Structures are given as C-alpha cells and as structure tokens.
Amino acid sequence: MEVIKWLREYREIEASLEWKGTFADYLQMVIKNPNLALHAHARIYAMIKAAGVETKGDQKKYHFFDKELFGLDKTLERLIEEYFHSAAKRLDVRKRILLLMGPVSGGKSTIVSQLKRGLEEFTRTEEGAVYAIEGCPMHEDPLHLLPMSLRPQFEKEYGIRVEGNLCPVCRLRLDEEFSGEVESFPVKRIVFSEEQRVGIGTFTPSDPKSQDIADLTGSIDFSSITEYGSESDPRAYRFDGELNKANRGLMEFQEMLKSDEKFLWNLLSLSQEGNFKAGRFALISADELVIAHTNENEYRTFVANKKNEALQSRIIVMHVPYNLKVSDEIKIYEKLISQSDIRNVHVAPHSLWATSVFGVLSRLKPSKKQGMDLVKKMKIYDGEDVEGFNQKDLKELMIEGEEQGEGMSGVDPRYVINRISTALIRDEHACINALDILRALKDGLSQHTSITKEERENLLNLISVARREYDEMAKKEVQKAFVYAYEESAKSLLNNYLDNVEAFCNSTKLMDPITGEELPPDEQLMRSIEEHVGVSENAKKTFREEILIRISMYARKGKTFSYESHERLKEAIEKKLFADLKDIVKITTSVEHPDQEQLKRINGVMDRLINEHGYCPICANEIVKYVGALLNR
C-alpha cells in the first residue's frame, strides 16, 4: 500500500533530522555556519526571505504568504521591512511587541498562523536548523554556555554575538553534573512544533480570577519540594509556561488587550530587556517574538487607559486592513470554498467576481477627486484604466484612502462565505450563480443585528451596483459566445479599421479590392468604432495617431499588433461587434419555441459557454435566458 510507503519515508525523514553531540562539536559547526546562531527575529526574517522575494520598481512582494493571504502585499511589505528586517538587524524595533490591528476576518490570525507553520517547516531544513542544550526546558541557545567574560573575545574572533544567560536548570546541571566543563555539555538539534511546545507558544487569557500567571512563566512543582528542600531549587520548578516554551521562536498572545494587568507586566521586561521574572529565581533570558492581534475599538480603549502607557510604548502597531482588489478578493473566496465541504458544487463563472465587487465596494471610501465614483476607484485599484483616470492616479488615490482609514471597515469575507454556504444549503443546487449569492447577501442583511439602518441601506445599494456590474459582464459573455469565430471577426474588423486609419493619417486613399477604384477613408466605419469608447470628433485625430504609434512601436520590437494590443481599441472593437449582434441575441434568446435555425444557434452558444468559458449546462442555460431578458427590457 502507498500509505505504508509514505509512513516509512516519513520515519526516515524524521530520523535524518536528529543530531546529538557536545558543546565542543556544536562550536565547530556554528563557527563554520554563523546562521545557526540567529536570534529569533533574524530567524523569522530569514525564513520569510527563503520563500522568495520579487521586486517590481520600489515594491517588494514576499512569496512566503502567497498561498493563504491575498491583496495584502503592501501591508505585508511594510510588516516585513519595517519590523522583521529591522529587528533582524538588532535595531531597537526588536525590543517591541508586534500588535496586528485590523477589522475582523482581515487576515491577522492568518499572518500569525503562517509564521507558526512556517517556523515548523523552516527548522526542518538545513538552512533553518536550530540547536539547543539537551535537557533544557527552554530549549536555549548552546552559546549561553560561554562564560560572560569570553563573549567579547568570541564575537571579535568569529563575528558571532551571544546574548542571554543560562536558565536556572542548565546552570545547576553545569555545576553539579559537569563541574563547569562546558565543552562536554550535550547539545541536540530541535525542530519547532506548536503541538509539542517547542519554540512556539500560544497564550489565551481567560477569567483573571481563575487563571494563574504560571500559564506564562511556569510554576512550582510542589511534589518535588520535599525531595529538593526549597522552592528556589530549579528542580522543584516547572519551566513550562508559554514564555518558557516559546523561547527561540514565537509566542502568540491572543486577546492581549483584554488580559488582566498582571499578565502584561512580564511583557515589559521581556520586550525591553529580553528577560522575565519567574518564581524565586534571577531574571530568566528569553529570545522570542511576542505577537498579538486586536481590532481598532479594543486598541483605542487600551490607549485611553493611562495605566497602559508603559506597555503602549513597547508596542509596534501594524494595520492590517481588508483587501481592496476584486481579483484578490476572488482568491480569498476560492480558498475558503476549497477548504469547505461545498467545494464539489459548481460555482458559475463571474459569481465570485460579482460577490467580490460588493465586498470591495463596501470597504472603499469616496474620493474627493471630481468624477471618481466608487466603481471607478475599484477598477483603478484592480489595475484597470477607466474614463478620465488611469494607473498614474493609483498612488494618489491610495494615499487619500489611507488617510480616510480605507479598508478598516466594510463587509468581511467570513460573512460573504457564510451567505454563499446558506444559498447552497437552502437551494441544494448542483450549481450556484451570481444572482443566487447576491440574493443570499441581501437576505442576510435583515438578520445582521450589528449594523445600523443607514449602513444596511448603503449595503443594499452596493448589492444593486454589483448586480448592474454583473449584468454588463453577463451580456458581454453571452454576446461574445454568439460571435462565431470571434477572433476572426475581430481581426477582420481591426484590419479594416487600421487600413482606414492609416489612409486618414497619411492623407492617402484606399483601393477597392473588387473594382480597383480609389476610395477615401471610410469615416463612417471609423467613427462607428471610436464612438463606442467615447472618442469625440475633436479627439479622433489624436486617437488614430496614437494607434499608428503603437503599431510602429510593436513593429520595432518584432511583435504582432492585434486588437488586444490597445486596451481602448480592444473595447471599441468588442462593443462594435456586440452592437451588430444585439438584435440577433435578443431574438434568439427570447423566442419561446425557437425554430431549427435558432435552436442550432442557441446550442452553439451553450457549447461555447461550456467548453470555452467554464459554464456547466445548468448555469449556461440560466445565463442565456437571463441575458435575453435583460436585452428585451
């Protein structure tokens, strides 16, 4: 059986990760490869970089988060560059608690989860290998065995800085078991695991009256006191708090701002000095990233409390807003659907697109730019050019939006996926389309008790806007399917247009291929195409010259100019073709009992929708009927 083979291979891989030796052996390894001595923040940054970095102009895209997070490239770049990169260089930002702040279901927990899972995988690689003192309850850095007086000399000689002290358990063992002979102290390789509480910890506050600080810093082992005689004996103490076990890696502090004050006091020393107090011991060194997440209201309440000023100064807040790009919002819903039991239900093309339009519109803030409405802004954000605006306006719009708190409110993806699930379960369809989802979203608003009447009215209006956008998309899809040999038709129309444009710009005439007669450029044809994209009579000369320049540029680069090589020309050609076909589509889709020719045409459209555009027989039939009804209104 394949499964047995997999199990054997798994055991072999696990066995290959094991290594044991002495501190003397480890010293030889770390001198050859100083990366073994990375501190926690530097290790996390190295892990993120190892997944790949793509640079476009002054923007960086880190691929570490690609599989789970979409539309947060700018946020993640800021997080990695301003926090992790700086912390990896031992700058002061390393001494700060990282607090992710943003709306619900915006990706905060996913960022933390990705870092945890990433560390588990990274420490299983040679590049991310981590070694610890064997038997240490805190899995501490073997270099802590180096006496303080030798560390400056060690750093000068090998360029490796050592920070932190031995934990009480290892110090006692060094004296009693090894008589101070650090070279013989055992060292082993460790692999981070949240499940086994190695290098990754999670603290969740509960009732402060019943929860003990021991959950963070460990506790006295009362059963051992009689054996060792003192509460200050390290052997009579369990170093099993989350701060202990997360050493060398990461600790997630869930709902940190809701915690009782006594649980936050330890963070003051840990963040600034890299140590904390536990039991009747000296300060215990800990090298770990403390990361928390919260929403905006909780943070404002926390800041308003003057008692929190000391901790507030030790926190770096990173805003994690909602995604604002429709194309990335689709990826979020596709991911959530793939993780559910509804993944086998067919979702009609453009259904998630229409849903994403609604979601993104709810998060956008109105622009002060004249002529810029929310739909245009949405399209600009998603990389499209719209009438009167283009991608050059993007940066200015984003700065304006950031000042308005854009993306910090609106419809969250969880609500949307819940409504999609409701539509599927309620209708028990094998296929679901955009209208089903938009209807479910609308119905859900009446049950949404956390929004005001004004907010509900605004969201209902945005559902209507998303419906109008979908209607246009649906008409275009069906009309395109009605064009037989669409590419050939577009190419023929393009060539005819370009011949006339060239003659117009060069003040020459065209030769009729049949009669051989010289004819002036067909102004009626050119205008019938250009008017579809709003080219005025005064602007037609500039538009045509721009087309010729683009053709010349393509020719110099050895590229072939097609109708898709110029965005506005592409739109004009398509609209012209669709306009010519509109009557045919209306008649064919609205006839209750189509004749043989009309039936053949409908079947051809259905086949093209199914084979070329991703429809199933159910949603293909529905969209053809729907578009027919739209065109006959």
Give me the mean pLDDT over the 239-256 stretch.
92
Provide the H-helix boundaries in 82-184.
86-88, 108-122, 151-158, 168-176
Q: Are 106 and 321 in contact (CB under 8 A)?
A: yes
Instruction: Express each pLDDT in 84-124 by its tens digit.
Output: 999 999 998 998 999 999 998 889 999 999 999 999 999 99
The encoded tokens of residue 345 equal 């239900």
Q: Report the predicted TM-score, pTM, of the whole model to 2 decimal places.
A: 0.84
User: Which pLDDT score is estimated for 484?
Assistant: 60
Confidence band (pLDDT; 50, 70, 90) for 467?
A: very high
pLDDT at 179 over 70: yes
Long-range contacts of the stretch 9-12 (C-beta < 8 A, 24+): none
Whether residue 522 is predicted with pLDDT greater than 60 in this model: the reply is yes
pLDDT value at position 199? 95
- The model's pLDDT over 45-69, given as tens digits with 9 standing for 90+, comes to 999 999 999 988 778 899 999 989 9
pLDDT (average), residues 186-192: 97
Mean pLDDT of 274-296: 88
pLDDT confidence of residue 486: 59
- Cβ neighbors of 134 (< 8 A, separation 6 or more) are 20, 186, 187, 188
Using only C-alpha atoms, what is the Rg of the chain? Answer: 32
Q: What are phi and psi of 558, to 5 degrees?
A: 75, 20
| pLDDT of the residue at 278 | 83
Residue 147: pLDDT band by 50, 70, 90 thresholds? very high
The DSSP 8-state label assigned to residue 196 in this structure reads T
How far, in Å, CA of 259 to CA of 273, rounded? 22
**C-alpha angle 345/347/350, rounded to 5°?**
175
The predicted pLDDT at position 136 comes to: 94
What per-residue confidence (pLDDT) applies to 590?
63
> pLDDT (tens digit, 9 = 90+) per residue, 1-49?
789 999 999 899 889 999 999 999 999 999 999 999 999 999 999 999 9
**Could you report the per-residue pLDDT of 361-416, keeping only the tens digit for each?**
999 999 998 889 999 999 999 988 888 888 888 889 999 999 999 999 999 998 88
Q: Comparing 275-284, 480-489, 574-583, which segment has the lowest mean pLDDT? A: 480-489
Instruction: Give residue 351's pLDDT band: very low, low, confident or very high (50, 70, 90).
Output: very high
Residue-wise pLDDT for 594-626, tens only, equals: 677 777 777 888 888 999 889 999 898 889 888
97 φ/ψ angles, rounded to the nearest 5 degrees: -80, 135
Helix (H) or strand (E) holding 201: strand 200-203
Query: What percent of the chain has a predicted confidence (pLDDT) above 70?
Result: 95
When the pLDDT of each residue in the chain is averaged and rounded to a whole number, the result is: 88
Residue 321 has pLDDT above 90, yes or no: yes
In this prediction, residue 587 has a pLDDT band, given cuts at 50, 70 and 90, of: low
pLDDT digits (tens, 9 = 90+) for 400-457: 999 999 999 999 998 888 888 888 776 566 788 999 999 999 988 887 767 888 889 9
What is residue 78's predicted lDDT score, i.e. its pLDDT? 93
> Average pLDDT of 525-541?
90
Condensed to tens digits (0 to 9), the pLDDT of residues 191-211 reads 999 999 999 999 988 777 777
Is it the case that residue 151 has pLDDT exceeding 90? yes
Q: What is the pLDDT of residue 209?
A: 73
Top-ranked range on mean pLDDT: pick from 95-109, 140-154, 206-220 = 140-154
